[in-house]
Amino acid sequence: MLSARAVAGVLLGLAVLAPAAARAGGDWNDKQIRWRSYQEGLAAAKKEKKPVCIIFYTDWCPHCANYSAVFHDPKVVDMTKRFVMIRLDKDKEAELSKKYAPDGEYIPRTYFLSSAGVLDAAIHAPRDRYLYFYDERTPASVLGGMNEAAKKLR
């Protein structure tokens, strides 16, 4: 039988590990942003005549977890209403990840598509490499892409 000290140690260990598991892949603000599956999102974009924002992430990526926090910013939340938002796990959606990889399959990657589902590769982060990797720490970067896409795509 375990001593009270051993039981307390196990419970403390579980308490410490639980928040890390809940945060795997990040907190993408599911309460305020309507994330859709790929097929559902493309159908909705066509029907609603809205551009699409697709984000590739993984559960194990620390940059993805950081980037997910950007989607709690009120300006980003507001801007997502002008898009059909799709979030795809690169590991689980490997074929789609390969399809949307004009400069590689790094993560996180964010793309903007027309309501017809056509990628606009010209809309990307202001950088020379990893063009679709928006700043993971500040909303200004992805807001720039969203603003450009909202003006350009229908």
Q: What are phi and psi of 13, to 5 degrees?
A: -60, -45
Triad 104, 54, 63: Cα angle to 5°: 60
4 lies in a domain? Answer: no
Say which range, 4-8, 15-19, 126-130, has the weakest mean pLDDT: 15-19
Domain that holds residue 68: 24-152
CA gap 126, 129 in Å, rounded: 9
pLDDT in tens, 98-135: 999 999 999 999 999 999 999 999 999 999 999 999 99
User: If DSSP codes are grouped into helix, strand and coil, which group holds residue 70?
Assistant: helix
138 lies in a domain? Answer: yes
Residue 27: pLDDT band (50, 70, 90) is very high
69 lies in a domain? Answer: yes
**Residue 2: predicted pLDDT:** 53
> At 52, which CATH number?
3.40.30.10
13 lies in a domain? Answer: no
pLDDT in tens, 85-101: 999 999 999 999 999 99
Q: Give the pair of three-digit tokens for residue 36.
A: 């859709």
CA gap 52, 45 in Å, rounded: 7
130 lies in a domain? Answer: yes
14 lies in a domain? Answer: no
pLDDT in tens, 28-56: 999 999 999 999 999 999 999 999 999 99
Residue 58: pLDDT band (50, 70, 90) is very high
50 lies in a domain? Answer: yes
Contact 28, 58 (CB under 8 A): no
CA gap 126, 111 in Å, rounded: 13
**Residue 100: partners with Cβ closer than 8 Å, 6 or more residues away:** 54, 56, 109, 111, 119
Number of domains in the chain: 1
42 lies in a domain? Answer: yes
With a cut of 80, say whether residue 8 has pLDDT above it: no
